[in-house]
Amino acid sequence: QSATDPKTGMIDMDTFITGMSSSMRQEIAKQAATLSTVVDQLPSSTIRGVHLLRKFNEALPADAENLQWNEFKRVVDFLADQGNIRIRERRLGDNCEIRRLG
């Protein structure tokens, strides 16, 4: 049951290996593409996390559900792992500073 993908109902070996289902990783990657576009369009290279979350949610399609900080943080971490952004002052939570790289 713990390795069952909630969307497909099928056993997901990725859950065993990474602790995250493949459909969840695909969703995060899709959201990260949207976030990357938002970050690229920012007038400044730095922004506070809470402000970036607002801009990200505004960029979502009308039928998409807005993310809360805990969900959004996974997307931010994904982009940081890819080397597209740097997160500073993580201890501040949603008030952390996010800097565009490149």
Q: What is the CATH number of the domain that holds 58?
A: 1.10.10
Residue 80, φ and ψ in degrees, nearest 5: -65, -40
Higher pLDDT, 80 or 3: 80
Q: Per-residue pLDDT for 93 more than 80?
A: yes
Residue 39 lies inside a defined structural domain of this protein:
yes
Q: Which residue range(s) make up the domain with 90? A: 29-100
Residue 20 lies inside a defined structural domain of this protein:
no
Q: What is the pLDDT of residues 35-88, one digit of tens each?
A: 999 999 999 999 999 999 999 999 999 999 999 999 999 999 999 999 999 999
CB 27, CB 75: distance < 8 Å: no
- If we measure between CA atoms, which residue out of 87, 40, 81 comes closest to residue 59? 40
The answer to whether the predicted template modeling score (pTM) of the entire model surpasses 0.85 is: no
Number of compact structural domains in the chain: 1
Residue 47 lies inside a defined structural domain of this protein:
yes
Amino acid 10: pLDDT: 76
